[in-house]
Amino acid sequence: MLSNTLSLSPVINAPTPAFLQGSALEKQVGQSSNVTLPETLRPVDNINKTQLQEGKDLDKNKEESEKSAKDSDKKLALEEQTELKALQQRDTEVKAHEQAHLSAAGGIATSSASFTYTKGPDGKRYATGGEVSIDTSEIAGDPAATAAKADQIKRAALAPANPSAQDRSVASSAITMKSQAQADLLKLMQESADPENNKPEAGQFIDQIT
């Protein structure tokens, strides 16, 4: 019989048709593509990042090594320039020093200047030492000439602006040489002035009887 009252009946879940299940699966797959990748997959990315970072570090280390090498070469170049400048200055000083000896020595010089050399970073040789030989012997039998020669030896030894220890030693010897020569000269003068020294020796004259 019909009734104006609605009856509420429980809903029965009917099985979903196969074609609808397929659509739902595709929908889930489609949705899964938008899902964030699980955390367990990220270490792969971290490894790649580490490798890239290591590559950058290697490049950076290479650049730093190249820069360090360039800086080292630059420093070496500066040191070579400093060394070269010092050698050039020394060369000028040594040659001027020996030339001063020669000029003052005049006739008592027994040789020209001789030098010792040092090879510079530019491959050239620079004088770093030198010497001039002079005659320092006495003039036998002539103390006056010996004293004059001693003065010349002293002048030659002290002629450079900065005499070396050897130069001062030669000058000192020349002073001693002059003092001895002056003493010898004074002795000769005294002997010449003494009347006793002017007496004829016994037997020098023979009396003549006419």
Average pLDDT value for the chain? 77
Task: Identify the band that residue 131 occupies on the pLDDT scale cut at 50, 70 and 90.
Answer: very high
Measured CA angle at 37 (ends 31, 41), to 5 deg: 150
pLDDT, mean of residues 107-131: 95
User: Would you give the end-to-end CA distance of the chain in angstroms?
Assistant: 224
Task: Name which residue leads in pLDDT, 56 or 205.
Answer: 56
- Cβ burial of 159 (10 Å; 0-12, 13-18, 19+) is buried
Write down the number of H helices and E strands in the chain: 4, 2
pLDDT, mean of residues 67-77: 69
Distance from C-alpha of 126 to C-alpha of 86, rounded to nearest angstrom: 10
Distance from C-alpha of 167 to C-alpha of 1, rounded to nearest angstrom: 153
- The pLDDT tens digits for 146-169 are 999 999 999 999 999 999 999 999
Distance from C-alpha of 55 to C-alpha of 62, rounded to nearest angstrom: 11
pLDDT for 99 beyond 80: yes
Residue written as tokens 């879940």? 13
Distance from C-alpha of 166 to C-alpha of 146, rounded to nearest angstrom: 21
Q: What is the pTM of this model?
A: 0.58
Partners of residue 114 on adjacent β-strands? 131
Containing H/E element for 58? helix 42-105
The domains of the chain are located at 51-135, 136-193
Task: Identify the band that residue 74 occupies on the pLDDT scale cut at 50, 70 and 90.
Answer: confident
Give every CB contact of residue 166 below 8 A, 6+ residues apart in sequence: none
| Per-residue model confidence (pLDDT) at position 193 | 82
Distance from C-alpha of 147 to C-alpha of 154, rounded to nearest angstrom: 11
Containing H/E element for 20? helix 18-32
